[in-house]
Amino acid sequence: MLLRIAVPRKTTKLTALATAVALAIAPMAARAEEEKGLPILRDTETEQLLRDYTRPILRAAGLEKQNIQVTIINQAVFNAFVADGRRIFVNHGALLQSETPNQIIGVLAHETGHLAGGHLARLREQLAQAQTQMIIAMILGVGAIAAGAKSNYGNNGLTNAGAAALAGPQNMIMRSLLSYQRQQEESADRAGVKFLTATGQSAKGMYETFKRFTNDSLFAAHGADPYYQSHPMPAERVAALEEIARTSPYWDKKDDPALQLRHDMMRAKISAFMERQDTVYRRYPLSSETLPARYAHAIATYLHGDLRNALAQIDGLIQVQPNNPYFYELRGQALIEGGRPAEAVAPLRKAVQLSNGAPLIEMLLGQALVAADNKAYAEEAISILRNAVSREPEAPIGYMQLAMAYGRKGDLAEADLASAQAAFLRGDNKTARDLASRAKTRFAVGTPGWVKADDIVAAKPLPGQKNNSKFADPNDSEPKTFLRTGPARNSP
Ligand SMILES: [Zn+2]
């Protein structure tokens, strides 16, 4: 499953009453609306791989206890950054453009160097409380301004959007967030090389990536690349990096072939979901029979709406790797999207089992159980979804599905509460408060559900969230959803 969760600039209005039943149809409403949001990508396969990439680095940096998360942003340009001391952000473009695990691990090691060096200490307090999507909105607002200033397209809408974001009180935070001092860059380079060496990995990939930013005429021509903007790379810095990197005994060490295959599968998936179909088939020609190429073809076929062929291709993948949970997940997702949710239940159960209960896949199973419209599934859907949201509390989709499951069951109190939690996670505090207030009237006073609803009603806007029209329009009392699930269609 590759989910694109959008925080919209343009809100999707539901004309129906603010009921859980109305929210149940919301994802379709959101999909019909071509939103230009600020998206986060959620995908178990990619996130698991990134965890495997970062875990040893974080341990070497002494940060293994900090519960640092990697968040993938749906942007095709190369970028990676740390914001608040507990989150590393990476654009899907950086994953796609990194040809080896070592290249992206090098970038992650450099960013970990910024974390370990406390280069953002002043900002941590302010940002530690902010929701992930809020941080992204702020960053991208300022990213747009940085891009506009350096490009020849100073008057385009992107720049204006950035200017609007900068007019707010986040100005100072953002300005300092996006730029490092030269000595911080060099210190992050040195720290990154140290972490790589301590974990028996080469810093060649980091060097290759950074050298590309100094050499590559494509980057130079655009000049607006966010990574280049935030991480200045004068030639002497890259030369210094090369010098220390070459002293490592692991300089010539190659990536493990099994890890390279997982990396290639991730890139194939991102390409197939995020890029135009002609681009996908150019990267992965139909004549290619490699597993990543076949993965890309199967995804592209299903996104193109050819379910029968897609299922045949997915079955072919399952024959090659019968214990790969993500092939069953893809089969389930294709069936749900193809309007056959009852048939999606079996492959998704298998995917949950093979992934040791990955919460995002459990949410997809919950979605299939709810959509299958079978009363026998209602209780099971609720139990699976409750379990999933307890371990994955930042994914609004889990609460959306939970609201629908409770709605099916006729439990309107729990349905309202789950809808309120989903709205809260989207940063839509107004809708969250409204739904939570109504949930309170449906629970007995003092029950756990009432207390949770009361917490949402009483929640203060998070720092930077006040007056932020991107997230809630104070004049708009209708519930809205920004959730977008399923195939992340290719952008024009
Ligand atoms: Zn840096």
For residue 180, the CA-to-ligand 1 centroid distance in Å is: 7
Q: Contact at 8 Å (CB) between 80 and 227?
A: yes
77-86, 331-340, 345-354, 456-465: segment of lowest average pLDDT: 456-465
CA of 174 to the centre of ligand 1 (A): 15
At position 369, the amino acid (one-letter code) is L
pLDDT of residue 123 exceeding 70, the answer is no
Q: Distance from the CA of 87 to the center of ligand 1, in angstroms?
A: 15
Q: Residue 436: enclosing H or E segment and its boundaries?
A: helix 429-442
Rounded to the nearest angstrom, the distance between the alpha carbon of 248 and the centre of ligand 1 is: 21
pLDDT value at 9 more than 60: no
DSSP code, position 1: -
Q: Are 178 and 78 in contact (CB under 8 A)?
A: no
Cα 323 to middle of ligand 1, angstroms: 38
Query: In the chain, what percentage of residues exceed pLDDT 90?
Result: 54
pLDDT band at 487; cut points 50, 70, 90 = very low
Q: What residues does 80 pair with on adjacent strands?
A: 90
- How far, in Å, is the centroid of ligand 1 from the Cα of 75? 19
Supply the pTM of this predicted model. 0.78
Contact 430, 471 (CB under 8 A): no
φ, ψ (nearest 5 deg) of residue 88: -110, 130
Look-up of token digits 């966010």 = 226
- Residue 488 token pair: 């992340």
User: In the numeric block, which tokens belong to residue 158?
Assistant: 């992107």
pLDDT in tens, 99-119: 999 999 999 999 999 888 877
C-alpha 241 to ligand 1 mean position (Å): 12
Half-sphere exposure of residue 237, counting CA atoms within 13 Å on the CB side? 23
Distance in Å, CA 119 to ligand 1 centroid: 10
**Ligand 1 geometric centre to CA of 68 (Å):** 17
198 pLDDT exceeds 50? yes
| Best CA proximity match to 222, nearest among 154, 159, 147 | 147
Confidence at 459, pLDDT banded by 50, 70, 90: confident
Distance 225 CA to ligand 1 centre (A): 14
Nearest residue to 18 (alpha-carbon basis) of 458, 482, 416: 416
Q: Dig out the tokens for 271 from the structure.
A: 């390409």
- Give the distance (Å) from ligand 1 centre to CA of residue 335: 43
Ligand 1 centroid distance, CA of 482 (Å): 32
Bigger pLDDT: 133 vs 450: 450
What secondary structure does DSSP assign to 55-97, as a single string?
HHHHHHTT-GGG--EEEEE--SS--EEE-SSSEEEEEHHHHHH
Q: Give the whole-angstrom CA distance, residue 77 versus residue 334.
A: 28
Radius of gyration of the chain (CA): 23
Ligand 1 centroid to Cα of residue 43, in Å, is 26
The rounded Å distance from CA 182 to ligand 1 centre is 9
CA-based angle 196:198:203, to the nearest 5? 20
Q: What is the Å distance from ligand 1's center to 188 Cα?
A: 6
From ligand 1's centre to the CA of 80, what distance in Å?
9
> How far is the centre of ligand 1, averaged over its atoms, from the C-alpha of 110 (Å)?
6
Query: Rounded to the nearest whole angstrom, what is the distance from the C-alpha of residue 112 to the centroid of ligand 1?
Result: 9
Q: How confident is the model at residue 38 (pLDDT cuts 50, 70, 90)?
A: very low
Q: How confident is the model at residue 268 (pLDDT cuts 50, 70, 90)?
A: very high
pLDDT tens-digit readout, 171-180: 454 455 555 6
How are beta strands 38-42 and 3-7 bridged, if at all?
antiparallel
φ/ψ (deg, to 5) at 39: -95, 150
Average pLDDT score, the chain: 78
Residue 264 CA to ligand 1 center (angstroms) comes to: 26
* Residue 96, token pair as written in the block: 């796609």
Beta-sheet strand order (sheet of 69-73)? 3-7, 38-42, 69-73, 87-91, 80-82
Ligand 1 centroid – CA 382 distance (Å): 44
Residue type present at position 139: I
Q: Compute the distance from residue 111 Cα to the ligand 1 centre, in Å.
A: 6
410 pLDDT higher than 60: yes
